[in-house]
Amino acid sequence: MQKVASLPLPSADALDASAALSTCIGDAIDAAGGWIGFDRYMALALYAPRLGYYSGGAAKFGRDVRDGSDFITAPELTPFFARTLARQFAPLMGMDLPRVMEFGAGTGRLAADLLLALDDEGALPDTYQIVELSGELRQRQQETLAARAPHLADRVQWLDELPVRFEGVIVGNEVLDAMPVRLFARHGGRWHERGVAHRIVGSAGPHAFTFEDRTLPDAAVPEAVRAMPGDHDVVTETHAEAEGFARAVGAMLARGAAFFIDYGFPAAEYYHPQRAGGTLMCHYRHHSHTDPFLYPGLQDITAHVNFSGIAHAAVDAGLAVAGFASQARFLMNAGITELLMELDPSDAGAFLPQANAVQKLLSEAEMGELFKVIAFTHDLDAALPLAGFARGDRSHAL
């Protein structure tokens, strides 16, 4: 386990939990004969019961290192993110689709603020269903809803499994990037799968995890990876789990629309020969780095989304792509600026923090361009305009 000098050390309890998780991952590696794919490592590091990053007690979401958090997401930054989504969702609620299903609801901020904003728009859903893998986050979501929207909290249900059929609006912010990825490395002109091995330092640990590459027959290398031009050294990822998830959403969505917001690119940009280092990224106390073996279970591990792969999987499952745009474009088309202007700019104490947060969502140098919104529909009037994609739709690039 490496340490990053200058970053706050985890508490003794957190280090104990990380050591327990490392033992559990080490056991999985031994049981598999000394090597596991990176996707398995990532799944355990993030979601192992009670010990994984999302299933355990890490603070995760927050503003800065002082609150022990690791990163901040759009719904945590400002309620104007949820309010703008509500503007997009309200007409759909009115089409006899008064249900929302949110995947990976984090602290519950988006759920609470969306319900409040939909209520303001006169478009309150009958039910707001949450699908969340982490019991710890489910608890936090209940607390947030009770504190921020107590009069609406009884509309919220947590699902343990997906229904066979759903009619309504589906939303997921930064969920696809949290799904395990496989890693592939080309060196010496040959493709390998990059997995994880370990050795135990000292008699009883700690575990030292290392990358270990295994050569693959060409036929076992996914097509998108094999097609990367050139023979220079490259590391990249594939997203079978996120694509399987998109297929499951496609199979379930009988009528309605699904919106996913995340950082990433279409395949041509994702597998561009110049993106030779891949997109694997870790977040610990608002510090981004590329070592997935730092404090297992105490830091986030993510990869950017290949939106073409998500689109193809969803279309295979029967959905239509309704639009694909940068987050900035989508939010501006859907009216974020008009909403912000409803605040009184002369009330600097109320206006400025929100204006700054909205600027962060929109700025090209921050979240505006790297983050994208993709939406799918099924069995909706083909003429239904989704305002968020009115200008700057890049579906053609998928």
Ligand X SMILES: C[S@@+](CC[C@H](N)C(=O)[O-])C[C@H]1O[C@@H](n2cnc3c(N)ncnc32)[C@H](O)[C@@H]1O
Which parts of this chain interact with ligand X (CB under 6 A)? 54, 61, 73, 75-76, 103-106, 110, 131-134, 137, 173-175, 178-179, 245
Query: Closer to ligand X at the Cβ: 102 or 213?
Result: 102
H helix and E strand count, the chain: 13, 16
Least CB distance from residue 263 to ligand X, whole Å? 10
With H, G, I as helix, E, B as strand and everything else as coil, classify residue 80.
helix
Query: What's the token pair of residue 2?
Result: 């490496």
Q: Which residue is nearest to ligand X (CB)?
A: 104
Of the candidates 181, 157, 336, 320, which has an alpha carbon nearest to the alpha carbon of residue 253? 320
- Nearest distance, CB of residue 257 and ligand X, angstroms: 18
CB 333 within 8 A of CB 387: yes
Rounded to 5 degrees, what are φ and ψ at 186? Answer: -105, 120
Could you tell me the smallest distance in angstroms from the CB atom of residue 148 to ligand X?
14
Tell me how far, at minimum, the Cβ of 103 lies from ligand X, in Å: 4
Nearer CB in complex with ligand X: 132/393: 132
Measured between alpha carbons, how far is residue 37 from residues 43, 126, 133, 213, 330 in Å? 10, 42, 21, 9, 36
Which residues on neighbouring strands pair with residue 262, listed in sequence order? 372
Q: In which residue are the tokens 């309704």 written?
A: 322
Q: Measured between alpha carbons, how far is 299 from 58 in angstroms, rounded to an integer?
A: 8
Task: Return d(Cα 277, Cα 388) in angstroms, integer.
Answer: 32
Q: How far is the CB of 384 from ligand X (least distance, A)?
A: 25
Nearer to ligand X, 85 or 152 (CB): 85
CB of 310 to ligand X, least distance (A): 13
Q: Which residues lie across from 374 on neighbouring strands?
A: 260, 324
Between residues 38 and 103, which has the closer beta carbon with respect to ligand X?
103
